[in-house]
Amino acid sequence: MKIIEETYPLADFAGVMPYFSEASLFLDIETTGFDAKRQPVYLIGTAYRKDDALHVVLCFAESPDAETEILQAFLDKLSNYREIITFNGEGFDIPYLQKRCELHHLIDLSAASFVDAYALASIDLLKSVRSHKKLLHLDRCNQKSIEAFLGIEREDTYDGGQLIEVYRRYAKQPNEADEALLLQHNLDDVRGMVRLLPMLAYNKLQNAELTVENADWDVDASLLTLTLSMNVTLPKPIRIHEDAYYFILEENRLKAALPFIHGELRYFFPYPAQYVYLLREGTVIPKMLASSIPTAEKRPAKQEECYSTMMGDFLAIDRAVYRKNPAFFEDERIFQKNWSDDLYYIKTDPQATDMQNICGYVSLLLRQHL
């Protein structure tokens, strides 16, 4: 077994500090295939934080016979940590190591996994990124694609599958060139994972605290523009565009554009069966008031006829958002131009200084995309 150790200033890894404690251990493995019952692990890369430095440790099996040594070296570390961080580790690295450790009788088979046996929390960065694939407009979610999204460059140009034959060749005839290829790939994977940590910021948007810094009601353009601060800092900007709003999220700021209109809109009554339509007047009245009106002069009202009108300023809201979150709007009357329109509106006041409700609405809209 060969152990390679590298140390780097954490300051070189932008934005990772909030997500990386001294109780965290990064893990990435290299194997000779995908069948954990038959194909051994030849390299286990880990990384941990000590003060303001990143320590990377690569345990390399110079031959398949040395697999037991690198597995045991890995298990010996685990009691020092409370959290394991991987990229697709819950789908590959962790179960693969589990099986190899079981085959070598290094762990108790009664344990569900070494993660459970050592009471480790697990963070799989792939799961986090994949949940935001649409939001981030990502074509693929493999590690190199995410690194490219963040502008991370790596020296290694191989993938793990390509290096299987390199390792087999090395195991038969060790040489410095092949060893360098194998080590560089795992080193870049481990360092790359650390640099991916700021992607966890997108998870925090779900409960982000928003504070309005600036609000501008442009009456001529019928547009409310907002600048809000967030208690989350994003590694890359997000743009969200829907009919009723447009958002740009960049670093710890959210800029929102919300259309509003000034004019007359309709409030549709919720129970049309309680109304009748008066043919002569062309209007609706409650059924209980129409008992003395001749039948020939009235008929049951249709939903699209049951409304009152109001003049004022109205903020557009998304119909689907309203239907998913009725409790948020329970104190608001919902207005429309016509019954069949997809856009709803709520009464607003451009002169109001209290932006709490609008801030809450922006939070609600943002959560629809997370």
Question: How many CB atoms are closer than 10 A to CB 347?
Answer: 15
Residue 320: inside a domain, yes or no?
A: yes
Task: Give the CA dihedral 280, 286, 291, 292, nearest 10 degrees.
Answer: -50
Domain that holds residue 214: 208-269+306-367
Residue 218: inside a domain, yes or no?
A: yes
Residue 228: inside a domain, yes or no?
A: yes
Q: Which of 186, 144, 146 is nearest to 163 (CA)?
A: 186
Residue 71: inside a domain, yes or no?
A: yes
**Same domain? 194 vs 216:** no
Question: How many CB atoms are closer than 10 A to CB 314?
Answer: 24
**Same domain? 7 vs 117:** yes
Residue 95 burial (CB < 10 Å; 0-12/13-18/19+)? middle
* pLDDT value for 177: 94
**Same domain? 106 vs 212:** no
Global confidence as pTM: 0.83
Span 104-150, pLDDT tens digits: 998 876 666 788 888 899 999 999 999 999 999 999 999 989 999 99
Residue 343: inside a domain, yes or no?
A: yes
**Same domain? 361 vs 223:** yes
**Same domain? 260 vs 218:** yes
**Same domain? 34 vs 58:** yes
**Same domain? 176 vs 312:** no
DSSP-derived 3-state class of residue 158: coil
**Same domain? 252 vs 118:** no
**Arithmetic mean of pLDDT over the chain:** 92
Q: Which has the minimum average pLDDT: 14-18, 29-33, 86-90, 229-233?
A: 14-18
Measured CA to CA, the distance from residue 338 to residue 340 in angstroms comes to 6
CATH of residue 107: 3.30.420.10
Residue 324: inside a domain, yes or no?
A: yes
Residue 85: inside a domain, yes or no?
A: yes
Kindly state the average pLDDT of the residues 85-103: 95
**Same domain? 234 vs 339:** yes
Measured CA to CA, the distance from residue 291 to residue 274 in angstroms comes to 12
**Same domain? 168 vs 229:** no
Which residue, of 202, 229, 254, is where some domain finishes? 202
Report residue 68: phi and psi, to 5°: -60, -40
* pLDDT value for 338: 93
Residue 186: inside a domain, yes or no?
A: yes
Which residue, of 180, 202, 224, is where some domain finishes? 202
Which residue, of 146, 169, 202, is where some domain finishes? 202
DSSP state, 156? Answer: -
Most confident of 141-145, 153-157, 275-279: 275-279
How many folded domains does the chain comprise?
Answer: 2
**Same domain? 191 vs 337:** no
**Same domain? 362 vs 253:** yes
